[in-house]
Amino acid sequence: MRKFLVILDDSRECLNAMRFAAMRAANTGGGVQILSIIPPEEFQHWIGVGAIMREEARERIEAHYEVFAKWMRDRQGIDPELVIREGESVPEILAQIREDADIGVLVLGAGVDKGGPGPLVSQMSRNAGTLPVPITIVPGDMSKERLEAVT
């Protein structure tokens, strides 16, 4: 089964990327894998605090994931898979794609702020020619109706 890999983060554009991935998966008989990345800690010398911070981050991610997963199950009939990795975003995304041969498309949401589409879209786009899978970039301000029409 081909999986649509979508990144779960705190950005507003993440919502449209999730919607697009779920709708495409439902319409094509695919699946959705949701990847969330915990960035490296700045203060490694506080090991006990770092462990607590990582656990809290995992709990936040799982709670956020459940909101999207419930919508995907209820509305699209898709049961998404959650993967949590730790590290820098781009290397972790690439590692996940390399490790899971079922991933067929990376879905990213583009920001609509004046600062551009967002750091993740910018970084991944620079490497688009060498990526092992295609990237779908979903505009952050695309309406639900338009998303339904293009999926």
What is the pLDDT, as a whole number, of residue 115? 76
pLDDT digits (tens, 9 = 90+) for 34-50: 999 998 865 555 666 77
Overall pTM surpassing 0.85 (yes/no): yes
Tell me which H or E stretch contains 35.
Answer: strand 31-38
CA–CA separation, 73 and 71 (whole Å): 5
What is the pLDDT, as a whole number, of residue 96? 97
pLDDT digits (tens, 9 = 90+) for 25-34: 999 999 999 9
What is the pLDDT, as a whole number, of residue 10? 85
CA–CA separation, 59 and 62 (whole Å): 5
Among candidates 84, 102, 111, 100, which has minimal Cα distance to 17?
Answer: 111
What is the pLDDT, as a whole number, of residue 117? 87
pLDDT digits (tens, 9 = 90+) for 56-96: 889 999 999 999 999 999 999 999 999 999 999 999 999 99
Q: What angle separates helix 119-126 from helix 89-99, to the nearest 10 degrees?
A: 60
More confident position, 33 or 118: 33
Tell me which H or E stretch contains 31.
Answer: strand 31-38
